[in-house]
Each structure stands twice: as structure tokens, then as C-alpha cells.
């Protein structure tokens, strides 16, 4: 039985809180700690990477724990409620550090507070993702479920992206707009988890405590699932590129194109997010016509080509190039709706082979991979900023090279360097041996098995 549209909307609302917090961090945290707090960019990159590594390691454990949990309300929903509340409490802390004098103290506070935020996000996001994979076994409905998540995620994307720019547009600079935005987002982030908890009553299934408790063995055993392994590798390389892209975006638009942060946030990023939202139904339709794998590969390939070719060529002081890239990129990024839908289908393949329901473990490893790639991308961003000539210890001054050379190097990183990761991700997807015909066969075999078990 498939859930109603109302239930899907209630389930997806938590994604708005998750994404609002994540995008505020991905877009602004590195620049906030280098330019406002005064932490060296390489130190900031290392702190962010270490915190994300912890976050990545904890994801499979959270997934496995939620697989086995036996709350009266089900195995996922209580974690969604608790994680939302914790994320609403820890996000403002991250963007409102106390007065710190030394680089070591600034590094330590960033590392500690970001670990708290990431732990809260894990408690919320891993059970939430796994819960979505369990709401339906129908492949098309799963794409619709992920589409609902992405639509509500775009609400969070708008909030996390535009709120600092809107605050800046009012002329308010104290406290810093990013600090104020984190405070304003605290309540809606926590409330989104509560709404999902209430709206999905009765849809959560009980946990399964049978079998040996061996999370590490279960995680390493996933490598035997070849379709998952290929999809996972595609996720890893694409996420590294996306992380470097989001971390360097404000630096590129400032030092290369000399555009104001307010214009970039309100117009370029605003158009990008709106285009993603409008493109989702298109990609759902495309997946029905040509299959999820080819459609996702086409979208990521388009993103890679646009990134590689466009960003090094855009002229300074001109919004038209970035606006065009925002529109094309927004359409291409909408294809991401298909990746987690593919993952839910591939988990069924594991259930057929193992006889176990391990959605939490799979989505935990999926989140772990995404976050490990983010850690690599964040560390790369901090190191690469040094190569561009941006002084990590001051307010963005150049070291030894001219501002023009700094802008040129940023364009190379933001364009071809990032683009090659997207192109590699598209190539990996085309190797994925799990199309529509295979999935329909898996579903038929699972249905036959359930019928036999139900027979007297």
C-alpha cells in the first residue's frame, strides 16, 4: 500500500530542516571562520574535514541502531524527533562562537561545535532517509517520495541560502548575518522534525533484533553488492566536486567576477534553487521514459560540461553568465532526485540475497560516503585556497601574487577542476548493472517469497 500525498508531504518536511542547516554550513561556514572569526583557511579546512569524518563514521552505526530499534512508534520516527530538536539547538552555537584570541582556540571551537552539529544531523537524517525507502516498494513511487523530499529540501535550500543575503540587504551587519541566520533557523529546523514525527504515525515498521550485532562486518559485506558499489563510487566522486564547488562559490564570485555577496545570494543562488524545484517533475518524467540510470547520467553529464566550460569564461562585473549557469545547473542538479531512488531499489536486491531488511545500514553507509567525500572536499578547499594566493590569516588578502592571478586560479578550480568530478560520476553511472528490467524481476521474486511465507 502506497502512502497518501499528505503523508508523503509530512514525511518530507524534515528534509527542509536538514537541508537548511546543511546549506548554511556548506556555503558560509568556511568563509565565516576565515573572514569573520579570523581562522586560517587551511586550519578551517582541517577542522571541517575532521568533524565530517566523525560524522561519516557514525552514520552506519546510526543506521544499524535504527534498524534494530523497537519503539512503540516504530524504529525510525523517535530518532527523527530527537535529531531535529538537537540540530535546532546546536546550529546557532556553530555560527556564534565566543571571543577567541588564538588560532588553536578558534580551531578547537570550530571542531567541537561542528562535531555536535554533525552528530545531531546523523541522528535525524539517517533514519529519515531509511524511512523513505520503506514507505513503498514500488520503483516509481520511490522516485516520487524522493521528489517530495527534494521539493521540501529546496525550501530549506532557499532558507539557508537566501536568509543571510536578506539580512545583509537590510543593512544589518551586527551580529554577522550568518550568525543571525543560524539563530533564526533554529526553531523551524527543530519544528520540521516534530512535524514529520506527528505526520507519519502508523507508517513506521518495528525493528528486527535478531541476528549477530556486527556493524563493521555488515558494512564491509556491502561490497559484495556490485550495483551498490558502483552507485556508491559515483556518489563519492560527484560529492567531492559539489563540496569544492559550494565551498569556493563565494570566493569565486567575489575575487574572480567581483560581484557582491548580496547579488550572488539573492539572484544567482536564488534562481539556481528555484530552477531545481521546477526541474524535479521533469526528471521524474525522464526516468519513466528512459530509466533512472540514463536519466541521472544525462543530468550529471550536463552539469559537468556546463561547469567545465562556463565558469572560466564568464566576464567580471556581469551577472548574465552566472544567471545562465544557475539556470542550466539547476535543471541538471534536479536529476539528483534519481540517485536515492536508485539506492532504495538496490536495497531490495540485497533483501533478496540476504533475506534481511537493512535499509538503515545501507542509507547509513550512503550518508557516510557522502560525508567522507565532503570531508575530502572541505580539506581540498582549504588547501586549494592557499594555492590561489588568498591569505588565510587575514581578510582575504592575496599573498605574493596579483588579484588577477588569484581570480584566474579560482576560475580553474571552480570550473574544470570541479567539472571533472561530475563527468567521472556520470561515467560511473553508465556502468551500473541495475536497470528497470532487473528491478522488476527482483520485486517479483520478493513477492513470491512473501507469498510462500504467508502460506499455511
Do residues 350 and 299 touch, judged by C-beta distance below 8 A?
A: no
Q: What are phi and psi of 390, to 5 degrees?
A: -80, 130
Instruction: Work out the number of other CB atoms within 10 angstroms of the CB of residue 395.
Output: 9
pLDDT given for residue 393 in this prediction: 42
Do residues 205 and 65 touch, judged by C-beta distance below 8 A?
A: no
Spans of the chain below 70 pLDDT: 1-2, 72-73, 139, 173, 206-218, 391-400, 453-456
Grid coordinates in use for 423? 563527468
Backbone Cα Rg of the chain = 22
pTM for this model (two decimals): 0.71
| CA distances (Å), origin 21, targets 28, 54, 126, 182 | 11, 18, 15, 8
Determine the angle formed by the axes of helices 292-310 and 270-290, rounding to 10 degrees: 140
- Per the listing, cell 582541517 goes with 46
Domain ranges within the chain, ordered by starting residue: 7-204+215-454
CA distance 310 to 333: 16
CA distance 230 to 223: 9
Please, which residues have CB within 8 angstroms of residue 333's CB and are 6 or more apart in sequence? 272, 276, 279, 299, 303
Degrees to nearest 5, angle at CA 394 with 390 and 397: 40
The gap between the terminal CA atoms of the chain, to the nearest Å, is: 23
Degrees to nearest 5, angle at CA 241 with 235 and 244: 135
| CA distances (Å), origin 394, targets 20, 279, 390 | 28, 40, 9
| CA 365 from centre of chain | 14
Grid coordinates in use for 263? 547579488
pLDDT given for residue 274 in this prediction: 83
CA distance 174 to 159: 20
Q: What CATH number was assigned to the domain covering residues 7-204+215-454?
A: 1.20.1250.20
Do residues 423 and 237 touch, judged by C-beta distance below 8 A?
A: no
Amino acid at each position: 500500500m502506497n502512502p497518501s500525498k499528505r503523508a508523503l508531504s509530512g514525511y518530507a518536511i524534515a528534509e527542509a530542516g536538514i537541508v537548511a542547516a546543511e546549506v548554511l554550513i556548506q556555503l558560509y561556514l568556511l568563509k565565516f571562520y576565515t573572514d569573520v572569526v579570523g581562522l586560517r583557511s587551511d586550519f578551517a579546512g582541517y577542522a571541517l574535514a575532521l568533524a565530517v569524518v566523525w560524522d561519516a563514521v557514525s552514520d552506519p552505526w546510526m543506521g544499524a541502531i535504527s534498524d534494530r530499534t523497537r519503539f512503540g512508534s516504530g524504529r525510525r520516527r523517535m530518532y527523527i524527533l530527537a535529531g531535529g530538536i538537537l540540530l535546532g539547538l546546536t546550529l546557532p552555537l556553530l555560527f556564534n562562537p565566543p571571543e577567541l584570541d588564538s588560532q588553536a582556540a578558534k580551531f578547537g571551537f570550530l571542531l567541537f561545535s561542528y562535531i555536535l552539529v554533525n552528530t545531531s544531523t546523523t541522528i535525524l537524517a539517517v533514519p529519515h532517509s531509511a524511512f523513505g525507502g520503506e514507505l513503498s516498494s514500488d520503483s516509481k513511487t520511490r522516485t516520487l517520495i524522493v521528489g517530495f523530499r527534494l521539493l521540501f529540501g529546496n525550501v530549506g535550500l532557499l532558507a539557508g541560502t537566501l536568509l543571510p543575503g536578506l539580512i545583509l540587504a537590510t543593512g544589518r551587519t551586527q551580529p554577522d548575518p550568518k550568525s543571525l541566520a543560524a539563530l533564526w533557523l533554529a526553531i523551524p529546523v527543530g519544528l520540521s522534525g516534530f512535524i514529520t514525527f506527528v505526520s507519519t504515525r502508523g507508517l513506521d515498521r518495528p525493528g528486527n533484533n535478531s541476528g549477530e550485532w556486527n556493524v563493521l562486518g555488515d558494512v564491509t559485506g556491502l561490497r559484495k553488492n556490485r550495483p551498490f558499489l558502483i552507485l556508491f563510487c559515483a556518489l563519492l566522486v560527484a560529492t567531492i566536486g559539489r563540496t569544492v564547488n559550494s565551498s569556493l562559490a563565494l570566493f569565486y564570485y567575489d575575487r574572480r567576477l567581483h560581484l557582491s555577496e548580496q547579488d550572488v545570494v539573492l539572484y544567482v543562488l536564488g534562481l539556481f534553487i528555484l530552477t531545481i524545484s521546477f526541474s524535479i517533475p521533469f526528471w521524474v518524467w525522464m526516468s519513466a521514459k528512459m530509466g533512472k540510470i540514463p536519466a541521472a547520467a544525462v543530468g550529471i553529464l550536463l552539469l559537468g560540461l556546463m561547469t567545465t566550460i562556463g565558469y572560466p569564461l564568464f566576464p567580471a562585473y556581469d551577472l548574465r553568465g552566472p544567471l545562465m549557469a544557475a539556470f542550466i545547473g539547476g535543471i541538471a542538479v534536479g536529476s539528483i532526485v534519481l540517485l536515492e531512488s536508485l539506492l532504495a531499489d538496490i536495497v531490495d536486491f540485497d533483501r533478496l540475497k540476504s533475506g534481511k531488511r537493512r535499509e538503515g545500514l545501507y542509507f547509513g553507509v550512503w550518508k557516510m560516503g557522502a560525508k567522507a567525500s565532503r570531508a575530502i572536499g572541505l580539506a581540498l578547499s582549504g588547501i586549494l585556497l592557499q594555492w590561489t594566493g588568498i591569505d588565510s590569516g587575514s581578510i582575504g588578502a592575496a599573498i605574493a601574487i596579483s588579484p588577477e592571478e588569484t581570480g584566474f586560479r579560482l576560475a580553474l578550480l571552480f570550473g574544470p577542476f570541479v567539472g571533472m568530478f561530475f563527468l567521472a560520476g556520470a561515467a560511473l553511472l553508465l556502468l551500473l548493472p541495475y536497470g528497470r528490467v532487473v528491478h522488476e524481476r527482483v520485486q517479483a521474486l520478493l513477492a513470491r517469497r512473501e507469498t510462500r511465507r504467508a502460506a499455511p
